[in-house]
Every structure is written in C-alpha cells, then in structure tokens.
Amino acid sequence: MLSLTLFIFFQRPGFLSELGNRISEGGMLPMSLILISFFLMIFLIFKASVKLGSNYSRFKKYVSLVNQIALVALVIGLFTQLVGLIQVFDAFESLDKVNPASFAGGIKVALLAPLFGWLVFLIGRIATFILTWIYKDNESETREAQRM
C-alpha cells in the first residue's frame, strides 16, 4: 500500500519538479546564481535570528548582508531579463513573420529570472523587516525591565 502511494505521489509533477523545470527554462547560470543567493540569504537570516540577543553591531551586520544578497539576486534577475529580451528581439528580427506563440514563449522565458529574483528580494526584505522589528521590540522590553 505504501509503495503504491509513493508511486502515485512521484508520478504527478509536484512543486519541486515544476520549480526545477522553471529554473532550467529560465537559464541555468542566472537561475542557479539566484538560487545560491537565496540559500545564502536564508542562512544569514538564520544567523541574524540567532544574534537577536547579542549586540546591535553584530545583528546589524547580518541584516545588512541579507539586504545586499537580496539586492544582488534582484539585479541578476533584471540583468538576465535585459539579455533575454535582446536575444528574443534578435531572433525575431531575422524572421519574416513572427509567430505570436513563439514571441510569447520568448518573453515568458525572459521574465522567469527577474520573477525569481524579485521573489528572493521580497523574502529578504520581509525577513529583515521582521528581524529588525523583533530586535527593537526586545530592546524596548529590556529597557523597561532595567528601569524597574
């Protein structure tokens, strides 16, 4: 019974397989760089959350690194979009008649890397916002406890 359930589960394409397809469709090098940035950013978010109780300069360093890596992921995505759009327009410039489906497919591929970069950027910014909020909340609670 378990083997049948696992067989059915792995037969249907899931989220991870769809994500893998989109990563390969968007270009392995830029999408891999964005994915590496994402994993590095998640690691730094974890390190910043561990440093919530430490001094502010150490915490701020990790928050700043998360913001910078999130921005790098966004810039890689936008740069890839520009290169992809130039390739799409070069390819269609050489054709006499442009098939709308081919044009839409080229635009879709050009938009995958910036979408992934924006997603990484948003996750990083939201995480730094939450971490800073928690840090300041903890700091204000500590000040109130010291007054009493």
pLDDT at position 17, please? 74
Question: What pTM, to 2 d.p., does this model score?
Answer: 0.78
User: Residue 77 pLDDT more than 60?
Assistant: yes
Determine the number of helices (DSSP H) and then strands (DSSP E) in the chain.
Answer: 5, 0
Q: Which residue has the tokens 């290169």?
A: 83
- The domain locations on the chain are 19-147
Model pLDDT for residues 114-131, shown as the tens digit of each residue: 999 999 999 999 999 999
Question: In the predicted model, what is the mean pLDDT of residues 96-112?
Answer: 80
Model pLDDT for residues 7-50, shown as the tens digit of each residue: 555 556 676 677 777 777 777 888 899 999 999 999 999 998 88
* Angle formed at CA 17 by CA 11 and CA 22, multiple of 5 degrees: 140
Within 1-148, strands assigned E span none
pLDDT at position 135, please? 84
pLDDT at position 11, please? 59
Q: Which residue has the tokens 């938009």?
A: 111
Share of the chain above pLDDT 70, in %: 84
Within 21-127, strands assigned E span none
